[in-house]
């Protein structure tokens, strides 16, 4: 059984009970035929039933809980404004009446995953448990519909609730790998077990029930988590198996890539080593979510026992402070924005070295002259990358809705077959869909501007240009130049404007063949053979190049790097984001950002459904895009989904420190998502 399918089963049943889609869990098991009630078996009474806690089972990697599933279903009903089925009805849709009548969805649903080693490697198994209203009632009602097999400590195995095998009468056939894996696992089953309070029905893979039934019925119910949903991931059990694979994984990865490049081997080894270090550093990852009528608040906590990996060092670097002023000066219509307080630039020395080596290796393999190789490496690895890793940064992106709608309407109005008009309309629409992008770096324009100017200087060096022409024709080579800022927009005098023109191939219009006469003047079929039509000569239609505009705009001791295809739009947004510009139409005046204003953060930001829908307009055909549907949404997809991050110092529970993140999804966002999902 694949790991993905196991993980799907772990979470599918509890989430269905919490209001998720029943169809996502696959076909429900057939209900048992209820005939003459079977006599309820009685458990052996050799010794009193023990409900004291037991130790955690070996190999425990995931524990989870859904608190008060009934209340969550109610919240989902409020969001969708639809009459949802009750919790019992949801259970009935995936099980039979006997189960629906005995489970108690006002109490938590718990789940656990353990891993062990098998012939297939690291083998995860799962089980989940749900409370029953009464142990005796559950025993009677389940026993009337299913065969109960008495076990130790008051437990009863409920036959017929697991995955049903094909009846023996079926004709022999080849079994799939999945079916063979299921047989190896021993199938699935359920056990009714006395619990710390009352009793619980524990279901899962048969291989997991022996170790997980006592834990899920006697230990985990004693845990108290205030959140509506709680999940913990503990990497300890997988550390040893991964360490055993550490030596062989790089060799396997390099063989799959098929590259003998020293730089590629170095990058692969470093990347896999980083992954292993993350697993060794990580102590626990927990996710908690509160679900209410007002929306969802999810909190993640990543605890580290050490900080060997770059990942752990970055997340535990504590430079928390209020969001930079530049973040609040982004345009109010920003649909994706974030800020970071930065980390020690020395942490990025090794990644930049790996990238520089890879770049040198690649340019050498393409035959670039050695002097140009060094110039390229200096420009990219030594000068550009430090701009984005040397300190705080602020990013924002957006688009012009009115211009985008106009460009979309122009494309829709193009006459069929008019290739030139269609190409022009698609270019105009593409410019608006790319929109504007702004990133503020913590360096003055005196340092950033020369980097932009050095790109065309390198590109137009005789040796570089000669080499580039061996790889492409002159007509298809991009052209770079530094030009004045666009007229009509006031920008600081030291602004640098880099223009990159990317040629596009000519369109070829083959035209249509003339139609031969079909009959005489009276409409009767002609008996004469029409002369063969001469095909029209193909016609080439030149396409305008795609022009990328990059501006370095000074803002005190910092610099805004602005990028887009519509130069006037990009320049306007950059000018509006400068600290000396008016702040009437900025994020600082936008509603819904309260969580970003409170306290000190290492980083944070927001995204909107509008911005996500715009991406679908770029990637998908118009009929499949969500973008045209925004106007019909209750809140037009403009409300923000907020996220924050902060580091915590080392403690007894996390000797390497911790990183805490939050995601806040308001009811307005959820209503838009629901409306969009239900739109035809």
Assess whether pLDDT exceeds 60 at residue 38.
Answer: no
Main-chain phi, psi angles of 360, to 5 degrees: -60, -40
pLDDT in tens, 160-174: 875 444 444 434 444
Angle between helices 609-619 and 419-434 (to 10 degrees): 150
In total, the chain counts a number of residues equal to 680
Q: Cβ atoms within 10 A of the Cβ of 13, count?
A: 22
Q: Specify whether the CB–CB gap between 632 and 675 falls below 8 A.
A: yes
Assess whether pLDDT exceeds 80 at residue 183.
Answer: no
Q: Specify whether the CB–CB gap between 105 and 69 falls below 8 A.
A: yes
Element (H or E) spanning 539, and its range?
Answer: strand 539-541
Residue 12 pLDDT level (bands cut at 50, 70, 90): very low
More confident residue, 341 or 529: 341
3-class SS string, 610-644: HHHHHHHHHHCCHHHCCHHHHHHCCCCCCCEEEEE
Main-chain phi, psi angles of 133, to 5 degrees: -65, -35
Quote the tokens at residue 296: 């969802």
**pTM for the whole structure:** 0.81
pLDDT in tens, 329-354: 999 999 999 999 988 989 999 999 99
As a whole number, mean pLDDT of residues 300-311 equals 96
Burial pattern 362-376, b for ≥16 Cβ within 10 A else e, equals ebeeeebeeebbebb
- Beta-strand ranges (E) seen in 293-391 are 295-304, 336-340
> Is the alpha carbon torsion for 17, 23, 27, 32 positive or negative?
positive
pLDDT in tens, 199-240: 999 999 888 898 899 999 999 999 999 999 999 999 998 888
Least confident piece of the model among 17-26, 263-272, 366-375: 17-26
pLDDT value at position 252?
67
Assess whether pLDDT exceeds 60 at residue 562.
Answer: yes
Q: Specify whether the CB–CB gap between 210 and 153 falls below 8 A.
A: no
pLDDT value at position 49?
92
Residue 258 pLDDT level (bands cut at 50, 70, 90): low
Least confident piece of the model among 7-21, 70-84, 106-120: 7-21
Element (H or E) spanning 280, and its range?
Answer: helix 262-281
Assess whether pLDDT exceeds 90 at residue 29.
Answer: no
Quote the tokens at residue 264: 């590629």
Residue 395 pLDDT level (bands cut at 50, 70, 90): very high
What mean pLDDT, rounded, does the chain reach? Answer: 83
pLDDT value at position 31?
38
Cα angle 260, 263, 269; round to 5: 90
Residue with tokens 């992106």, as numbered in its chain: 397
Assess whether pLDDT exceeds 90 at residue 677.
Answer: no
pLDDT value at position 30?
38
Assess whether pLDDT exceeds 70 at residue 18.
Answer: no
pLDDT in tens, 408-456: 889 889 999 888 899 999 899 999 999 999 999 999 999 999 999 999 9
pLDDT value at position 539?
82
Radius of gyration of the chain (CA): 32
How do beta strands 121-132 and 148-150 pair? unpaired
As a whole number, mean pLDDT of residues 105-114 equals 94
> Is the alpha carbon torsion for 627, 628, 632, 638 positive or negative?
positive
More confident residue, 582 or 86: 582
Assess whether pLDDT exceeds 60 at residue 487.
Answer: yes
pLDDT in tens, 307-318: 999 999 999 999
Burial class (CB in 10 A: 0-12, 13-18, 19+), 71: middle
């Amino acid at each position: 059984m694949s790991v993905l399918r196991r993980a799907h089963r772990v979470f599918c049943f509890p989430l269905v009970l919490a209001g998720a889609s029943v169809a996502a869990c696959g076909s429900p098991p057939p209900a048992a035929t209820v005939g003459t009630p079977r006599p309820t078996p009685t458990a052996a009474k050799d010794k009193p039933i023990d409900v004291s806690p037991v130790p955690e089972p070996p190999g425990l990697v995931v524990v989870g809980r859904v608190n008060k599933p009934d209340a969550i279903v109610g919240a989902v009903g409020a969001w969708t404004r639809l009459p949802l089925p009750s919790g019992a009805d949801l259970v009935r849709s995936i099980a039979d009446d006997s189960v629906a009548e005995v489970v108690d969805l006002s109490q938590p649903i718990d789940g656990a995953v353990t891993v062990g080693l098998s012939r297939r490697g690291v083998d995860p198994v799962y089980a989940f448990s749900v409370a029953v209203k009464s142990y005796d009632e559950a025993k009677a009602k389940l026993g009337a519909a299913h065969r109960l097999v008495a076990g130790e400590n008051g437990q009863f195995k409920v036959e017929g609730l697991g995955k049903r095998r094909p009846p023996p009468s079926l004709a022999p056939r080849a079994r799939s790998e999945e079916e063979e894996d299921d047989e190896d696992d021993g199938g699935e089953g359920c056990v009714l077990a006395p619990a710390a309070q009352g009793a619980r029905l524990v279901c899962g893979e048969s291989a997991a029930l022996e170790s997980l039934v006592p834990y899920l019925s006697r230990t985990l119910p004693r845990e108290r988590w205030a959140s509506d949903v709680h999940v913990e991931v503990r990497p300890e059990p997988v550390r040893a198996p991964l360490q055993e694979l550490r030596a062989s994984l790089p060799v396997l990865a390099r063989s799959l890539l098929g590259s003998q490049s020293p730089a590629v081997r170095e990058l692969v080894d470093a990347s896999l080593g980083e992954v292993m270090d993350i697993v060794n550093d990580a102590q626990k990852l927990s996710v908690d979510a509160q679900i209410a009528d007002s929306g969802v608040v999810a909190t993640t906590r990543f605890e580290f026992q050490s900080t060997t990996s770059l990942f752990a060092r970055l997340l535990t670097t504590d430079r928390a402070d209020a969001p930079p002023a530049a973040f609040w000066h982004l345009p109010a219509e920003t649909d994706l924005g974030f800020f970071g307080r930065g980390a020690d630039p020395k942490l990025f020395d090794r990644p930049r070295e790996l990238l520089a080596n890879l770049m040198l290796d690649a340019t050498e393999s393409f035959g670039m002259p050695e002097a140009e190789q060094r110039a390229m490496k200096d420009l990219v690895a030594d000068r550009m990358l430090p701009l984005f890793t040397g300190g705080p940064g602020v990013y924002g992106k957006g688009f012009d809705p009115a211009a985008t709608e106009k460009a979309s309407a122009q494309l829709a109005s193009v006459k069929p077959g008019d290739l030139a008009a269609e190409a022009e309309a698609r270019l105009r629409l593409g410019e608006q869909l790319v929109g504007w992008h702004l990133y503020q770096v913590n360096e003055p324009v005196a340092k950033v501007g020369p980097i932009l100017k050095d790109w065309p200087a390198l590109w137009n060096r005789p040796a570089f240009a000669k080499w580039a022409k061996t790889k492409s024709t002159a007509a298809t080579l991009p052209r770079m130049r530094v030009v004045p800022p666009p007229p009509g927009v006031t920008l600081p005098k030291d602004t640098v404007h880099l223009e990159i023109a990317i040629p596009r191939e000519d369109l070829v219009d083959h035209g249509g063949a003339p139609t031969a006469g079909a009959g005489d003047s009276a409409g009767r079929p002609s008996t004469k053979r029409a002369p063969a039509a001469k095909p029209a000569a193909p016609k080439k239609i030149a396409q305008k190049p795609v022009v990328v505009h990059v501006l370095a705009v000074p803002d005190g001791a910092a610099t805004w790097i602005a990028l887009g295809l519509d130069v006037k739009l990009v320049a306007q947004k950059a000018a509006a984001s400068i600290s000396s510009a008016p702040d009437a139409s900025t994020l600082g005046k936008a509603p819904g950002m309260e969580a970003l204003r409170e306290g000190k953060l290492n980083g944070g930001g927001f995204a909107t459904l509008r911005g996500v829908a715009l991406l679908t307009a770029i990637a998908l055909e118009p009929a499949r895009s969500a973008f045209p549907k925004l106007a019909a949404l209750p809140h037009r997809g403009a409300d923000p989904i907020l996220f924050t991050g902060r580091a915590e110092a080392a403690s007894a529970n996390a000797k390497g420190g911790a990183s805490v993140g939050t995601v806040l999804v308001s009811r307005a966002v959820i209503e838009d998502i629901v409306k969009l999902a239900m739109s035809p």
